[in-house]
Structure 1
Amino acid sequence: MNPATPPSPPPAVSRVSEAAAQAAISAACRALFLPTIRTQAAPLAAAAARERLTHQGYLAEVLTAECDDREARRRIRRAKEAKFPRAKTLEEFDTTAIPDLPPATLAHLATGAWIEAGQPLVLLGDSGTGKTHLLIGLGTAAAEQGRRVRYVSTAALVNELAEAADAKQLSRVVGRYGRLDLLCLDELGYVHLDARGAELLFQIITEREERASIACATNAPFSEWGATFTDPRLAAAVVDRLTFNAHIINTGTSSYRLRTTRARKGAAGP
Structure 2
Amino acid sequence: MSDLAMKFVEAKQVGKLIRVMASLMHPSLLVLDELGYDHLDLEASKLIFKLVAARYEQKSLMVTSNFPISRWSEVFGSDALTQVIADRLIHHAEIINIKGKSYRLKNHL
Report the TM-score, using the length of structure 2 for normalisation.
0.93
Please give the alpha-carbon distance, in whole angstroms, between the structure 1 residues aligned to 2:26 and 2:77. Answer: 28
Between structures 1 and 2, the one with greater helix share = 1
Deviations 1:173-226 (A, max 9, x none): 111111221111111011111110100111111110011011111010011001
For the pair 1:190 / 2:37, whether they are aligned, the reply is yes
Pairing 1:228–2:75 present: yes
Distance 1:211 1:177 in 2: 12
Instruction: Please tell me the residue identity of whatever aligns with 1:246.
Output: A
Which structure is higher in RCO with an 8 Å CA cutoff and minimum separation 6?
2
Say whether 1:213 aligns with 2:53. no
Alignment of 1:1-270 (within 5 A): 155-262=2-109
Give 1 or 2 for the bigger CA radius of gyration. 1
Q: Distance in 2 between matches of 1:218 and 1:228?
A: 11
Could you state the TM-score of these two structures normalised by the residue count of structure 1? 0.39
Secondary structure at the counterpart of residue 178 of structure 1: coil
Write the distance in 2 (CA, Å) between the matches of 1:204 and 1:252.
29
Q: What RMSD, in angstroms, separates the aligned Cα atoms of the two structures?
A: 1.4
State the distance in 2 between where 1:190 and 1:162 align.
18
Q: How many angstroms apart in 1 are the aligned matches of 2:41 and 2:100?
A: 28
Give the drift of 1:258: 2.6
Shift of 1:248: 1.0
Q: Aligned partner of 2:105: which letter?
A: L
